[in-house]
Structure 1
Amino acid sequence: MIFKNLQLNKGIEDKLFNTLYSLSIKKLSEHHWTPVEVAKLAADYLVDKPKCKVLDIGSGVGKFCLIGATSTKGRFYGVEQRSRLVKLSQKIANTHKIKNVEFIHSNITQVSFSKYNSFYFYNSFYENIGRFQAIDTTIPLEEKLYYSYSQYVENQLKKTPIGTRLVTYWSEWLEIPEGFDLEFTAYDGKLNFWEKKF
């Protein structure tokens, strides 16, 4: 029902979508997982042509990718360094027969952006600063990683072609290189839509 409604462009509340997850995952939703409405807006912007390849930088439990893959004609890839979250995301995709989504167990610094057309970034590195609840203790969290990961993303985005689209949510814009123009914003400036102009 959840994914069928998304395919039909019917509204889905976060509370309903989050029934896909365990209580421990639901508790993290407010700080770590993209709201359904935000995911739909971002995915619609990022998929500017059929089969557009969208990379979610730090996909967590796969919520953005699952919503985007269901509600657009794009192909979604989520990179996540926590293996249990990757397995969970894959399980949901397989259970609901969502074919145009793939979850990659990797650190972002091992991923080349050259394979993708558009990018989504819900400040997945912010956890390293330690200002709110951590997802778990399975990976190292250090302030220096926040800056090194942001630098890596910036360097990779520099190499993308003109016309590349990017959506950021709750970002401090450290990862956005020169050449990306802000097209418009939503949610009081928290959700930002970018396109590479030069």
Structure 2
Amino acid sequence: MVTPEPERTSASAPAHSVRQRTARRTQSFGESIWEELAGLFERHPHMIYFGDGAPAKEAMPVERLKHAAATAWELAPDMLGYGESAGFEPLRALIAVRMAARGIVADPSTILVTNGSTQGIELTAKLMLDPGDAVIIEEPTFVGALQTYAGYEARFVPVPMDAEGMRIDALERALAGDDRIKIIYTIPTFQN
């Protein structure tokens, strides 16, 4: 006969920290920069926050957004489900048309709509990075990208910028000096 082990109470359970139970890569996470920034803005309410790239609340076209939302519900009332995993097909088709206008040929079936830039960064990191691989980054860059890549144990190769973006001479040196570069992360519009 097998005697079941007694159920452990919280007093008898092993004392493991969250860090001991999570993946090794989480050790790079550290404290959230966003929590630190929230405290900074509480102490300095006059500061203007540019961190999430969103326009000022007073610049939001609220009435136009209300109209667009109402129109969307009229045209597609069954959109409360999960929808297509790659994103709304008419949106992907429109993106393909806009890319074609810029000389980039893309079929809607090859376009993936993400829920913001951080999800796109996460998916790219998951696809491309092994521990120790390198990511070329602009200096400065988006802290959310750094946090995401750090979670995949990437190394960073910062490249200085000038008025046109990454300095090409420095980028060429970085590319020539590291054979484990997998990603060049750049912000081509409204760089931080």
Same fold (TM over 0.5): no
Structure of larger gyration radius: 2
The TM tier, using the shorter chain, reads 0.3 to 0.5
- The two structures have a TM-score, normalised by structure 1, of 0.32
